[in-house]
């Protein structure tokens, strides 16, 4: 083609040259006449026109040189077929008018049908929601893109790469560590016959369950198993809401045994060392939240919890208390001084346990201080402390966080009581700087520590931190010298945290309480500490009057919609009081607690897990006592959100229970 144009160009030039020569001869013979001028003019005009036409033609030729069909002709179809590329043209009403030969090759013909009727997923392409979609049809997976100007769809066959990717993610390793809660305690004391029975309930069920699903399971210890599976199997377990946990708990209950499973499951990486580390941490988390649940984490993501529908039970053994006491004793002895810190807005339990620990440290003649001048004290505690300022000041050293930072050294032991997170601590800067931190707490573990404690004694089955501290007394070298006043404050802490020995109260709560009485705790004074003022009495009545039953599950809401600010301590007290109503299973009091801050106080009788509900909304707490604070929100907004979260939670619990029926 190109040669032809070149030839044409050459001919034109020769033609023009001949004409010019003839004209020159005429001019030479006749001289320049008028006719000559006209002829010359036409000659130049013609030549220009010819060159113009040729140049346009040339330009077009250059453009078309890359046209596939010009080079390959019919063979281009093969390229589309090998590449798995198809084209579909449709009209204004989305009817297919043409399909490329590729579809003939894979035996699909949908001409005259609507695209959306053939592949309903394409609707999102036409709506412009997405640019590309993956569609499954017959045995094929197509990636489809749309060219809106040309009413054209591009199809690419991605079946192979899709299947390989899927297979790859299904085969990804998942590691789990399973712990049989309470197993050790049971098998230690029971007869051989009974142990055999427990084994058949727990171990056999667990192993059968694992084998049925194709999970590799290996015993690590008497009460601990390692499990390995791939992501496909894991997805099945997840879909069943970890039914094995319910099954073991139910089997135990049917036989009067408190047995449960805790699991730490790690995924999202093929690094086995990392998976192993993750499972250890996760299992620790699941157990410190009271066991009977799964803690699950994908590498680089947040921890999720499943289960935990039963309340935590007493599981700390006397042996563990002795070991912990021994460890704390060593820690104190090996420190240059001890600083005790509590949570913000310190309450009776927090202060009581700080005083108790302060006396334990004093018995070893070590310097000890309590950070009480930073972080704030709860109102009634402030009054009681002021009343006894002198007596307490003689026996304890109260300081601020800044003072604490001044005296902190590498060898200083910082004891966190009644909390285990820096965000709610009275002394977050101290936690950040301290080298040796020991945690004593009874709140369920919420997430990973942001610091590295040398000892973490978290017992969510204990009623209060005070109960845990009193239990440490008998194991110290000398009798701990606790004054009657200190005992009374600790006793008050237990009363507050158990709502008068009702919530989370076990036999060991009473043992600790009676120990405090032996130290001279004054019950009358403890109650005096807690008495309401008239204003408080009025506010509490207001909350009580606002309560109503929210649903058939016995959830009670008590929202205070007007702008009244009710102190946090008061809304939790009111929640406790409403919970004593027979129909109430869980109570949520929602109110403004300060300027622009709304609080929720949640209580449960032990069926509904209010910790889960509050955590979902960004709060935290225990199974049956939890709370939440939110800035710049209104009571109305929180009530609406709470309504949604609770409905979702109840749905989940109900579906959980139906799983049990299915699996048993
Ligand atoms: Mn407490």
CATH number of the domain bearing residue 566: 3.10.310.30
Tell how far the Cα of 106 is from the centroid of ligand 1, in angstroms. Answer: 70
pLDDT value, residue 663? 33
Token pair belonging to 285: 């988390």
Q: 308, 623 in Cβ contact below 8 A?
A: yes
- Looking at residue 310, its pLDDT comes to 55
Please provide the average confidence, as pLDDT, over all residues in the chain.
Answer: 86
Going from the Cα of 605 to the center of ligand 1, the distance in angstroms, rounded, reads 18
Q: How far is the CA of 468 from the centre of ligand 1 (A)?
A: 10
Q: In angstroms, what is the span from residue 46 Cα to ligand 1's centroid?
A: 105
Q: Residue 498 in contact with residue 505, Cβ under 8 Å?
A: yes
pLDDT at 311 over 60: no
DSSP 8-class letter at 475: G
Q: Is residue 312 a part of any domain in this protein?
A: no
Give the CATH number, domain containing residue 210.
3.30.70.270
Average pLDDT over residues 12-39: 82
Please report the pLDDT score of residue 461 as a whole number.
Answer: 82
Looking at the structure, tell me whether residues 330 and 471 fall in a common domain: yes
Question: pLDDT-based confidence at 662, cuts 50/70/90?
Answer: very low
Q: 559 and 417 in one domain?
A: no
Residue 28 pLDDT grade (very low, low, confident, very high; cuts 50, 70, 90): confident
What is the reported pLDDT for 63?
Answer: 62
Answer whether residue 313 is part of any domain.
Answer: no
pLDDT of 660 strictly over 50: no
Separation of CA 499 and ligand 1 centre (Å): 11
Reported as a single tens digit per residue, the pLDDT across 317-351 is 666 787 788 889 888 998 999 999 999 999 999 99
CA gap 377, 346 in Å, rounded: 5
Identify the band that residue 314 occupies on the pLDDT scale cut at 50, 70 and 90. Answer: very low
Same-domain check for residues 216 and 239 = yes
- Calculate how far, in angstroms, residue 464's C-alpha sits from the geometric centre of ligand 1: 5
| Total number of domains in the chain | 5
Identify whether residues 563 and 629 lie together within a single domain.
Answer: yes
**Per-residue pLDDT at 189:** 60
Judged against a pLDDT cut of 50, whether residue 41 lies above it is answered with yes
Rounded to whole angstroms, the Cα distance separating 7 from 14 reads 11
- Range from 63-72, 81-90, 654-663 that averages highest in pLDDT: 81-90
- Residue 550 CA to ligand 1 center (angstroms) comes to 29
The predicted model gives 94-117 an average pLDDT of: 88
Whether 492 shows a pLDDT value over 70: the answer reads: yes
Q: Ligand 1: distance of its center to the CA of 353 in Å?
A: 9
Q: What is the mean pLDDT of residues 172-195?
A: 81
Q: Residue 13's pLDDT is what?
A: 84
- State the Cα–Cα distance between residues 462 and 321, nearest whole angstrom: 12
Among the ranges given (308-312, 596-600, 625-629, 635-639), the one the predictor scored with the smallest mean pLDDT: 308-312
**125: pLDDT strictly greater than 50:** yes
**Is residue 220, in this structure, part of any structural domain at all?**
yes
Cα(602) to centroid(ligand 1), Å = 15
How far is ligand 1, taken at its centre, from the CA of residue 421, in Å? 14
Q: What is the mean pLDDT of residues 593-600?
A: 88
Whether 69 has a pLDDT exceeding 60, the answer reads no
Whole-number Å distance between alpha carbons of 579 and 605: 7
Q: How many C-beta neighbours within 10 Å does residue 74 have?
A: 8
pLDDT of residue 590: 95
pLDDT at 2: 61
What's the Rg (C-alpha) of the chain? 40
Residue reference for tokens 């909390």: 419
Task: From 307, 336, 361, give the residue that closes a domain.
Answer: 307
Structure tokens at 15: 């033609």
Alpha-carbon gap, residue 3 to 339, rounded angstroms: 96
Domain endpoint, select from 307, 329, 353: 307
If asked whether residues 186 and 145 sit together in one domain, one would say no
> How many angstroms separate the CA atoms of 364 and 330, rounded?
10
> What's the 347 CA to ligand 1 centre distance in angstroms?
8
Percentage, residues of the chain above pLDDT 70: 92
Cα dihedral value 89, 95, 99, 103, nearest 10: 130
Are 589 and 629 within one domain? yes
Look at residue 546 and tell me whether its pLDDT is greater than 90: yes
Give me the residues near ligand 1 (ion), CB cutoff below 5 Å.
349, 418, 464, 497
Domain with residue 108: its CATH number is: 3.30.450.20
Output the CA 601–ligand 1 centroid distance in Å. Answer: 15
Quick one: 128 and 256 in the same domain? no
Q: Indicate whether 344 and 271 sit together in one domain.
A: no
Q: What is the pLDDT of residues 600-616, one digit of tens each?
A: 999 998 888 899 999 99
What is the Å distance from ligand 1's center to 307 Cα? Answer: 24
Q: Output the CA 629–ligand 1 centroid distance in Å.
A: 18
CA of 582 to the centre of ligand 1 (A): 26
Using the predicted structure, report yes or no on whether residue 490 has a pLDDT greater than 50: yes
pLDDT tops 80 at residue 203: yes
- Share above pLDDT 90 across residues of the chain, in percent, rounded to a whole number: 42
The verdict on residue 251 lying in a domain is yes
Going along 493-596, which residue ranges are E strands? 548-549, 555-559, 586-594
Q: What is the CATH number of the domain that holds 486?
A: 3.90.1640.10
Structural domain of residue 379, as residue ranges? Answer: 318-529
CA of 92 to the centre of ligand 1 (A): 70
**pLDDT score, position 68:** 52
Q: Is 559 contained in some domain?
A: yes
Question: How many other β-carbons are positioned within 10 Å of the β-carbon of residue 192?
Answer: 8
Cα 631 from Cα 58, distance rounded (Å): 73
Identify whether residues 147 and 182 lie together within a single domain.
no
Q: How confident is the model at residue 555 (pLDDT cuts 50, 70, 90)?
A: very high
At 101, the pLDDT band (50, 70, 90 cuts) reads confident
Q: What is the mean pLDDT of residues 525-545?
A: 88
Confidence label for 468 from pLDDT (cuts 50, 70 and 90): very high
pLDDT for 658: 42
Same domain, 453 and 349: yes
- Alpha-carbon gap, residue 469 to 353, rounded angstroms: 6
pLDDT, residue 267, reads 94
For residue 65, report the distance from its CA to the centre of ligand 1, in Å. Answer: 83
Question: Per-residue pLDDT for 443 more than 90?
Answer: no
Cβ proximity of 248 and 189 under 8 Å: no
Of 307, 338, 361, which residue is a domain's last?
Answer: 307
Distance 351 CA to ligand 1 centre (A): 9
Residue 159 sits in the same domain as residue 199 = no
Contact status, residue 106 vs residue 82, Cβ threshold 8 Å: no
The predicted pLDDT at position 661 comes to 34
Q: What is the 9 CA–ligand 1 centroid distance (Å)?
A: 100
What pLDDT score was predicted for residue 317?
A: 62
Residues 358 and 444 in one domain: yes
Mean pLDDT of 543-568: 91
User: Averaged over 575-587, what is the pLDDT?
Assistant: 91
Which residues, listed in sequence order, are joined to residue 559 by a DSSP beta bridge?
590
Query: Does residue 190 register a pLDDT over 80?
Result: no
Q: What confidence category does residue 664 fall into, taking pLDDT thresholds of 50, 70 and 90? A: very low
Q: Answer whether residue 426 shows pLDDT above 90.
A: yes
Q: Does some domain include residue 664?
A: no
pLDDT at 570 over 70: yes
At 371, list the tokens: 């950070």
Residue 289's nearest CA partner among 269, 265, 255, 313 is 313
In a domain, 394, yes or no: yes
CA of 37 to the centre of ligand 1 (A): 116
Q: Classify residue 570: in a domain, yes or no.
A: yes
Q: From ligand 1's centre to the CA of 465, what distance in Å?
A: 5
Q: What is the pLDDT of residue 656?
A: 58
Weakest-pLDDT range from 11-15, 410-414, 421-425, 480-484: 11-15
Distance (angstroms) between ligand 1 centre and the Cα of 78 equals 76
pLDDT band for position 589 (50/70/90)? very high
As given in the structure block, the two tokens for residue 223 are 């009460």
**pLDDT surpasses 80 at 211:** yes
361 or 138, greater pLDDT? 361
């Amino acid at each position: 083609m190109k040669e032809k144009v070149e030839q044409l160009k050459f001919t034109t030039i020769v033609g023009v040259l001949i004409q010019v020569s003839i004209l020159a001869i005429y001019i030479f013979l006749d001289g320049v006449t008028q006719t000559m001028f006209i002829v010359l003019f036409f000659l130049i005009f013609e030549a220009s026109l010819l060159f113009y036409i040729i140049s346009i033609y040339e330009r077009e030729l250059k453009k078309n040189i890359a046209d596939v069909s010009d080079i390959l002709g019919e063979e281009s179809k093969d390229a589309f077929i090998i590449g798995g590329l198809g084209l579909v043209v449709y009209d204004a009403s989305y009817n297919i008018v043409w399909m490329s030969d590729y579809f003939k090759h894979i035996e699909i013909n949908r001409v005259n049908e609507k695209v959306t009727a053939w592949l309903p997923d394409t609707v999102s392409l036409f709506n412009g929601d997405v640019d590309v979609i993956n569609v499954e049809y017959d045995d094929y997976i197509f990636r489809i893109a749309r060219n809106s100007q040309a009413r054209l769809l591009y199809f690419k066959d991605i079946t192979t790469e899709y299947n390989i990717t899927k297979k790859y993610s299904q085969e990804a390793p998942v590691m789990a560590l399973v712990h049989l809660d309470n197993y050790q305690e049971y098998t230690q004391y029971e007869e051989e016959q009974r142990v055999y029975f427990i084994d058949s309930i727990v171990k056999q069920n667990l192993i059968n369950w694992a084998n049925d699903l194709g999970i590799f399971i290996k015993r690590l210890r008497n009460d601990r198993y390692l499990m390995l599976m791939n992501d496909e199997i894991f997805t099945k377990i997840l879909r069943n809401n970890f039914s094995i946990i319910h099954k073991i708990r139910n089997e135990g209950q049917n036989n009067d045994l408190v047995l449960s499973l805790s699991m730490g499951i790690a995924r999202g990486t093929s690094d086995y060392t990392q998976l192993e580390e993750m499972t250890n941490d996760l299992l620790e988390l699941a157990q410190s939240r009271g066991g009977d649940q799964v803690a699950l984490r994908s590498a680089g993501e947040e921890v999720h919890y499943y289960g935990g529908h039963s309340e935590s039970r007493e599981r700390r053994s006397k042996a563990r208390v002795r070991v912990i006491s021994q460890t704390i004793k060593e820690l104190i002895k090996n420190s240059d001084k001890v600083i005790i810190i509590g949570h913000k807005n310190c309450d009776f339990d927090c202060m009581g346990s700080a005083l108790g620990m302060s006396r334990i440290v004093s018995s070893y003649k070590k310097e000890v201080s309590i950070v009480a001048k930073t972080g704030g004290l709860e109102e009634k505690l402030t009054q009681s402390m002021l009343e006894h300022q002198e007596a307490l000041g003689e026996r304890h050293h109260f300081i601020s966080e800044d003072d604490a930072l001044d005296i902190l050294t590498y060898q200083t032991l910082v004891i966190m009581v009644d909390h285990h997170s820096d965000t709610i601590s009275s002394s977050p800067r101290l936690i950040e700087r301290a080298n040796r931190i020991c945690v004593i707490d009874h709140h369920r573990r919420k997430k990973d520590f942001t610091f590295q404690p040398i000892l973490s004694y978290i017992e969510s089955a204990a009623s209060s931190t005070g109960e845990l501290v009193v239990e440490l007394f008998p194991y110290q070298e000398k009798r701990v010298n606790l004054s009657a006043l200190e005992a009374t404050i600790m006793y008050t802490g237990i009363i507050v945290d158990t709502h008068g020995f009702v919530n989370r109260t076990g036999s060991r709560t009473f043992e600790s309480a009676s120990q405090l009485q032996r130290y001279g705790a004054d019950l009358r004074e403890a109650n005096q500490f807690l008495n309401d003022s008239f204003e408080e009495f009025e506010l509490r009545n207001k909350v009580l009057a606002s309560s109503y039953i929210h649903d058939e599950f016995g959830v009670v809401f008590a929202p205070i919609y007007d702008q009244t600010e009710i102190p946090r301590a008061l809304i939790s007290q009111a929640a406790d009081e409403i919970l004593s109503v027979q129909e109430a299973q869980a109570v949520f009091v929602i109110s403004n607690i300060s300027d622009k801050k709304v609080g929720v106080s949640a209580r449960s009788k032990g069926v509904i897990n209010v910790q889960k509900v509050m955590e979902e909304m960004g709060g935290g707490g225990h199974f049956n006592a939890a709370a939440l604070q939110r800035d710049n929100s209104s009571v109305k907004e929180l009530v609406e959100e709470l309504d949604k979260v609770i409905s979702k939670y109840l749905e989940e619990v109900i579906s959980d229970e139906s799983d049990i029926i299915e699996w048993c």
